[in-house]
Amino acid sequence: MDKEISIVIPTFNRRDFLKTTLNAFKNQTFFDFEVIVADDGSTDGTAEMIKTLVLPFPVKHSWQKNAGRSAARNMGAISAPSKIILFVDDHNIPDKHLIEEHLAYHLKFKPDKLGAVRGHMVFIDDPQAAPANAKPLPFMTRINLRLGEQDPLRFHTGNVSVVKEAFLKIGGFDEKIKEYGFEDQEFGYRLKKAGYQIKFNPAAVNNIFKVPSAPEKEYDKARQAGHCAVLCYKKFPWFGFRTGANPINLLLFRLLSLGNNWWLRKAEAAKDHDRIKYFYFLLGVWEGFNPGSAVAMGPKPSLKK
């Protein structure tokens, strides 16, 4: 018998973090669900780890050659037998009411051509820091989040449930977006463009814990996000403009790149990682619009090894 809801978790070589996340779903107040691990080519023993777990819900492990998060999510969602798909990440500690709250909103707003329910994400440093009970959001925070519930730029698949019929109708995630960044917001934009409603439930809480990552890797992800912003612009100009693929950022990159990337060198000297990441995002936008042109501007800023 099919489950009420399928949880799709994309992953790539994060066996131990995934193990923590799967075990954390033991505490749900609703148990008519299954988990589909959408494995994007892991080689770290993820499949073997899953077989060792004793869980009160079924887990299906689907593997594909590394093709990016969009393709992994599509693989998981297409194989899901449930009518509702909840997307989370492989470094989450869900609040015990997470699934219950998502389903409650799908039931409540089903007559309104509901396409997706967004939950609230709380960022924590360590899995042990996840609270036993989610704290209610301040009134003004709830108002702000509800006002923006239809905004695709707030559509993050670390905590969003989608009606499978709507998912299939708009073609799932765009698998041309292979790098990091904006594949979930681009999906949300197409969902809204197709006439589906997106609702925000502040009580559907998912805690996102940090995964250790070298600064250089974070800079490269910012650069990839710049590339993806341009891909969004080429499909949907106004949406892409909002992601950062716009003349303002192109001009800004040119200004910050003068004097052998003076702004980047100052940020590196100050160890200001946010400024460095922003520069690499701008670089990614420039490269997206001007493939192969960086040589004419001088050497590209190189990621430190």
Interior/surface letters 128-154, b for 16+ CB within 10 angstroms, e for the rest: eebeeebeebeeeeeeebeeebbbbee
Quick check: is 303 in a domain?
no
Which residue among 190, 209, 228 closes a domain?
209
Quick check: is 245 in a domain?
yes
Are residues 188 and 102 part of one domain? yes
Quick check: is 10 in a domain?
yes
Instruction: For the chain, give percent helix, strand, coil, nearest 5.
Output: 50, 20, 30
Q: What angle do CA 197, 201, 205 make, to 5 degrees?
A: 135
Provide the pLDDT for residue 296.
38
Are residues 269 and 177 part of one domain? no
Are residues 284 and 162 part of one domain? no
- Work out the pLDDT band at 1, boundaries 50, 70, 90: low
Rounded distance between C-alpha atoms, residue 84 and residue 2, angstroms: 11
Average of per-residue pLDDT across 197-219: 95
Are residues 236 and 135 part of one domain? no
Quick check: is 302 in a domain?
no
Element (DSSP H or E) covering residue 56: none
Are residues 154 and 15 part of one domain? yes
Cβ of 202: how many Cβ atoms within 10 Å? Answer: 17
Quick check: is 139 in a domain?
yes
Please give the residue range of the domain that contains residue 123. 5-209
* Residue-wise pLDDT tens digits, 30-86: 989 999 999 999 999 999 999 999 999 999 999 999 999 999 999 999 999 999 999
Are residues 199 and 53 part of one domain? yes
Which residue among 163, 185, 209 closes a domain?
209
Query: Total domain count for the chain?
Result: 2
CATH number at residue 29: 3.90.550.10
Average of per-residue pLDDT across 87-106: 97
Average of per-residue pLDDT across 221-228: 96
Query: Is 70 exceeded by the pLDDT of residue 299?
Result: no
Rounded distance between C-alpha atoms, residue 187 and residue 171, angstroms: 9
* Residue-wise pLDDT tens digits, 136-159: 888 888 788 877 888 999 999 999
Which residue among 174, 209, 244 closes a domain?
209
Are residues 161 and 35 part of one domain? yes
Helix pair 247-270, 273-289: axis angle to 10 deg: 150
Residue 100 DSSP class: H
Average pLDDT, the chain: 92
Are residues 205 and 165 part of one domain? yes
Average of per-residue pLDDT across 248-272: 94
Provide the pLDDT for residue 6.
97
Are residues 185 and 48 part of one domain? yes
On whether the CB atoms of residues 170 and 191 are closer than 8 A, the answer is yes
Provide the pLDDT for residue 111.
87
**Short-list 20, 2, 216, 3, CA closest to 11:** 20
Quick check: is 305 in a domain?
no
For residue 280, what are the contacts with CB-CB under 8 A and spacing of at least 6? 219, 220, 222, 223, 226, 301
Are residues 239 and 172 part of one domain? no
**Short-list 196, 220, 194, CA closest to 277:** 220
Rounded distance between C-alpha atoms, residue 200 and residue 249, angstroms: 30
Provide the pLDDT for residue 291.
85
Quick check: is 304 in a domain?
no
Provide the pLDDT for residue 295.
39
Q: Which residue has the higher pLDDT, 296 or 261?
A: 261
The residue count for the chain: 305
Provide the pLDDT for residue 300.
54
Average of per-residue pLDDT across 125-146: 85
Are residues 225 and 187 part of one domain? no
Are residues 285 and 187 part of one domain? no
